[in-house]
Amino acid sequence: MSQPLPAGTLAGRTALVTGSSRGIGADTARYLAQAGANVVINFRNKAPRAEKLATELRALGVQVLVVGADLTDRASVDEMFAAVREAFGALDLLVLNASGGMEGGMAADYALTLNRDAQVGVLDAALPLLSDGSRVVFVTSHQAHFIRTTPTMPEYEPVALSKRAGEDALRDRIPELNERGIDFVVVSGDMIEGTITATLLERANPGAIADRRESAGKLYNVSEFAAEVALAAVEPIPSDNTRLVGDTSSFGGE
């Protein structure tokens, strides 16, 4: 993994990445730690994976807190931020990466509960720890960001709609965040090679990944996209608060 952020860029800063036990969240947490940030690793189920990552990141010389919290459970979220306050006192960076909605056996409105309501709930719970100079990064997919103008696969549509609803609900908070000196940016990417989501969609729609790869010219892998999320944590905020990763010419307007 080539490091997108120069060593020391985030020295002394504290970052929480939701859903960082695996996938894009885990690689993002690793990049932030390599840049010197103290990191809070949040997971829902995969405690051993989160602990393994924590051990690896502590070896870099940063402090790491591992907190299990189901983001759809407000009490659990409040406990997570109480633990963050006790360990670090404040938060400089909140990366809203955790996502879901394609899991089996969940309530019909689970995607909306996690991808919209829980995202806003996490922001609310984090606000007392954020201050002037802090930043919030929301991670999403092009299939969700552009869902109003570009249809997606039927299996992903409820997730896409719920993630866009979450993005919109967070965007509504930009004036309030900016008043407090807190930056907000959305990072959106195409389907990511090698992820569970991409595998599930490919299973339901054989050839879907190859089609997307052809339309986009290239699909990012997990570490490449995580590098873009890490860059979003430090680079200047675009005027529309949006960073679109890779080619988006096959998507309509917003």
**Member of 9, 21, 134, 242 binding ligand NAP (CB under 6 A):** 21
Rule CB under 6 A: say whether 100 interacts with ligand NAP.
yes
Contact stretch for ligand NAP (CB under 6 A) within 59-67, 122-130, 136-144, 230-238: 136-144
The verdict on 93 binding ligand NAP (CB under 6 A) reads no
* Smallest separation (angstroms) from ligand NAP to the CB of 81: 13
CA–CA distance, 201 with 20 (Å, rounded to integer): 22
Q: Distance (Å, rounded) from C-alpha 144 to C-alpha 29?
A: 23
Letter string b/e over residues 177-200, b meaning 16 or more CB atoms within 10 A of that residue's CB: beeeebbbbbbbbbbbbebebbee
CB of 114 to ligand NAP, least distance (A): 5
Q: Judge contact between 54 and 37, C-beta under 8 A.
A: no
DSSP single-letter state for residue 150? S
Candidate list 5, 10, 23, 94; residue touching ligand NAP; CB under 6 A: 23
Binding window for ligand NAP (CB under 6 A); candidates: 1-9, 18-26, 83-91, 234-242: 18-26
Minimum distance of ligand NAP from residue 41's CB (angstroms): 9
From 37-45, 83-91, 173-181, 210-218, give the range in contact with ligand NAP by CB under 6 A. 37-45
- Which H/E stretch holds residue 249? none
Per the document, the length of the chain is: 254
Laid out side by side, the sheet with 183-189 consists of: 64-68, 38-43, 14-17, 93-96, 135-141, 183-189, 242-244
Cα separation values, 159 from 33, 102, 239, Å: 30, 7, 27
- For position 192 contacting ligand NAP by CB under 6 A, the verdict is yes
Q: Is 166 near ligand NAP (CB under 6 A)?
A: no
What is d(CA 103, CA 53) in angstroms, rounded to the nearest whole number?
Answer: 24
119 near ligand NAP, rule: CB under 6 A: no
C-alpha 57/C-alpha 55 separation (Å) is: 6
Q: Which of residues 21 and 134 has its CB atom nearest to ligand NAP in the complex?
A: 21
- Confirm or reject binding of residue 197 to ligand NAP (CB under 6 A): yes
Report, in Å, the least distance between residue 8 CB and ligand NAP: 27
Give the nearest distance from C-beta 120 to ligand NAP in angstroms. 14
Give the tokens for residue 199.
Answer: 């595998």
Q: Which of residues 38-67 bind ligand NAP (CB under 6 A)?
A: 43-46
> For binding to ligand NAP (CB under 6 A), which residues are involved?
18-25, 43-46, 70-72, 97-100, 114, 139-141, 163, 189, 191-192, 195-198
